[in-house]
């Protein structure tokens, strides 16, 4: 399942290395900014290292405002020369592939917590999830998630447990019968399950953090080895919850004490990349 804000934030982060990615983001700003969450883009981009969160949000906001989406004005910081040059592509988003389920839900239900909760629960294959887990996945506050999920449960759009802590689930079968992708879909048109949820916002932020760390680790940077080890350990620990929830078995940070922490980071990166190749 595509995570729109995570994909945009990571694409903008990588656009320093590959300029064509910014053209793709500009295209989406033109045709799909109305399906993009301002609040969630801000929260997701905040997970990225350094000043990249501010730059990515401002860049996309300027593109979205230039396309006519005024929701982004407060984050645009004014339009600079050349802003608003849109990438080439289709004149409207085509949401027929299973992986676009999240965007389809937003198109039908509106951009907000309820559509995002439903996307997460459907992508979780009918498993129960707490408000805390849904909040971590969707980047809304626990209070917002509880209120929205309780409303949805009252409407019988999702189910909730009776005890405490309250957990929620969405029966995938009935929903997927309704949401089956268009027959023109190139793949998975006959799939009996919604596309799986992946914690892309955390994974992309982790890889961006690895790129930032590697710059510090270059000989020309002259970074103290103890500082590098500390930053490597912090990076792995920061994303440990996402690894666990995703079923990614990474080595525990304590297995690489002291100056061995970069070895643990390297092993973790290899495991995460193998997982990404498998699930994409």
pLDDT higher than threshold 80 for residue 206: yes
Q: What is the DSSP letter of 167?
A: E
Range 170-179 contact pairs with CB under 8 angstroms and sequence separation of 24 or more:
170/118, 170/121, 170/122, 170/124, 170/126, 171/126, 172/122, 172/125, 172/126, 173/126, 175/118, 175/122, 176/122, 179/101, 179/104, 179/122
What element of type H or E holds 133?
helix 131-138
Contacts for 31 with CB less than 8 Å, ≥ 6 apart: 89, 90, 91, 92, 93
**Paired tokens of 119:** 């996307």
What's the pLDDT score for residue 84?
A: 44
Beta bridge partners of 169: 159
Q: Determine the Cα–Cα distance for residues 59 and 75; give it in Å rounded to an integer.
A: 9
Give phi and psi for 168, each to the nearest 5.
-130, 155
- The pLDDT of 25-43, averaged and rounded, is 95
**Paired tokens of 144:** 């917002």
- The pLDDT of 126-130, averaged and rounded, is 94
pLDDT higher than threshold 90 for residue 251: yes
pLDDT band at 222 (very low <50, low <70, confident <90, very high): confident
What's the pLDDT score for residue 82?
A: 44
Q: Determine the Cα–Cα distance for residues 142 and 172; give it in Å rounded to an integer.
A: 23
Average pLDDT, rounded, for the chain = 90
* Full-model pTM: 0.90
pLDDT higher than threshold 80 for residue 172: yes
**Strand duo 159-160 + 129-130: pairing:** unpaired
Q: What percent of the chain has a predicted confidence (pLDDT) above 70?
A: 91
Q: What percent of the chain has a predicted confidence (pLDDT) above 90?
A: 72
pLDDT higher than threshold 80 for residue 181: no
- The pLDDT of 73-85, averaged and rounded, is 66
Quick: pLDDT tens for 91-100: 888 888 889 9
């Amino acid at each position: 399942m595509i995570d729109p804000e995570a994909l945009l934030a990571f694409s903008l982060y990588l656009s320093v290395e590959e300029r064509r990615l910014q053209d793709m983001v500009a295209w989406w700003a033109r045709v799909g900014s109305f399906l993009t969450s301002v609040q969630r883009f801000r929260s997701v981009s905040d997970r990225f290292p350094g000043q990249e969160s501010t730059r990515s949000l401002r860049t996309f906001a300027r593109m979205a405002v230039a396309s006519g989406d005024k929701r982004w004005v407060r984050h645009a910081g004014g339009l600079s020369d050349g802003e608003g040059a849109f990438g080439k592509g289709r004149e409207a988003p085509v949401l027929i592939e299973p992986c676009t389920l999240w965007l389809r839900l937003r198109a039908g239900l509106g951009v907000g917590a309820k559509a995002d909760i439903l996307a997460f629960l459907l992508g979780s294959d009918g498993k129960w999830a707490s408000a805390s887990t849904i909040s971590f996945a969707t980047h809304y506050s626990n209070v917002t998630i509880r209120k929205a999920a309780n409303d949805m449960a009252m409407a019988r759009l999702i189910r909730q447990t009776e005890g405490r802590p309250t957990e929620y689930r969405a029966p995938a079968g009935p929903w997927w019968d309704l949401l089956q992708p268009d027959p023109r879909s190139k793949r998975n048109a006959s799939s009996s399950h919604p596309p799986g949820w992946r914690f892309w916002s955390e994974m992309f932020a982790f890889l961006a953090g690895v790129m930032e760390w590697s710059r510090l680790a270059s000989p020309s940077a002259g970074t103290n080895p103890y500082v590098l080890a500390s930053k490597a350990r912090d990076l792995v620990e920061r994303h440990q919850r996402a690894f666990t929830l995703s079923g990614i078995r990474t080595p525990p940070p304590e297995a690489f004490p002291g100056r061995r922490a970069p070895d643990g980071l390297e092993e973790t990166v290899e495991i995460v990349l193998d997982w990404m190749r498998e699930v994409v």
